[in-house]
Amino acid sequence: MDKKSEKHNKAMQKQKERVSATMAKATQDQSVVVLLTGNGKGKTSSAFGMAIRALGYGQQVAIIQFIKGVQKSGEELFFLEHLKDVPLYQMGTGFTWDTQDRDGDMAAAKITWDHAKNALSNPKYDLVILDELTYMLSYQYLDEQSVVDVIIARPSHQNVVITGRGGGSRLREIADTVSEIKEIKHAYNQGIMAKKGIDF
Ligand code: ATP
Ligand code: MG
């Protein structure tokens, strides 16, 4: 074996030992809250990826989206057309900076949160996705503590995925997994139009 291969094999062996050691320690089987935040692209698309993972195992999934609704994204079109059994509720007032109607937005947020609360109290659901929830908290359309209380009180087997930039400190505290997606660059900032199938 040449030196390069030997070095590679040694590194792989070490990596394997590290992974095995971590796996041996992760013995608790409990549900999780995943928070996907940060300015980079990939939060909502990752959440839908997890929805598909869960559906692959025959799990029940509910999706509640707190901002989008004017233009349907590809994943929404796919779910509405091919996965009709998966409840997908959208706030449907469009982007907040377009509507400039705080009272209307707040009322819509509360109705949407009622749908989320229903899912978060229904043991039928194995996974609840709260897409763009963080903005409802940062605009103070919803009370952070009440939201956190409902998430904590959910059925014990139910997983939750929350997306959106920011995400208050309480959400970060109660989440078991928090990923901050960092923007290195985005095509949009180089003047490239949002792409069907990639951006929406
Ligand atoms: P995606 O839906 O692609 O996973 P996201 O959920 O991480 O993105 P959002 O902040 O919800 O990001 O924005 C949704 C839309 O804005 C997508 O079309 C996405 O490509 C675009 N976008 C996300 N991050 C950036 C960025 N840093 N600069 C410009 N556009 C962005
Ligand atoms: Mg998003």
Mutate to test the pocket of ligand 1, among 41, 132, 184 (most ligand atoms within 8 A of CB): 41
Residue nearest to atom 27 of ligand 1 (CA): 40
Q: Confidence band (pLDDT; 50, 70, 90) for 103?
A: confident
Please list, residue by residue across 162-188, b when 16 or more beta carbons sit within 10 angstroms of its beta carbon and e when fewer do: bbbbebeeebeebbeebbebeeeeeee
Once rounded to an integer, what is the mean pLDDT over residues 37-65? 97
CB-defined site of ligand 1, < 6 Å: 39-45, 163, 165, 183, 186, 188, 194, 199-200
| Torsion over CA: 50, 116, 29, 54 (sign) | negative
| Torsion over CA: 187, 189, 194, 197 (sign) | positive
Ligand 2 center from residue 164 Cα (angstroms)? 6
Q: Confidence band (pLDDT; 50, 70, 90) for 167?
A: confident
Ligand 2 center from residue 123 Cα (angstroms)? 26
Report which residue type is found at 82: H
What are the structural domain ranges in the chain? Answer: 31-190
CATH architecture of 31-190: 3-Layer(aba) Sandwich (3.40)
What is the per-residue pLDDT across 176-194, written as a single tens digit (0 to 9) for each?
A: 999 999 999 999 999 999 9
Q: Assess whether pLDDT exceeds 60 at residue 17.
A: yes
- Low-confidence winner among 47-56, 78-87, 99-108 (lowest mean pLDDT): 99-108
Token readout for 35 is 């928070």
What is the per-residue pLDDT across 117-126, written as a single tens digit (0 to 9) for each?
A: 999 999 999 9
Once rounded to an integer, what is the mean pLDDT over residues 155-165? 97
Residue nearest to atom 20 of ligand 1 (CA): 199
Give the residue from 163, 168, 151, 146 showing the smallest Cα distance to 32: 151
Q: Confidence band (pLDDT; 50, 70, 90) for 128?
A: very high
pLDDT at 68: 57
The model's pTM is 0.89
DSSP state of 194: P
Q: Confidence band (pLDDT; 50, 70, 90) for 94?
A: low
How far lies 166's CA from each of 37, 83, 130, 181, in Å? 6, 30, 14, 11
pLDDT at 43: 98
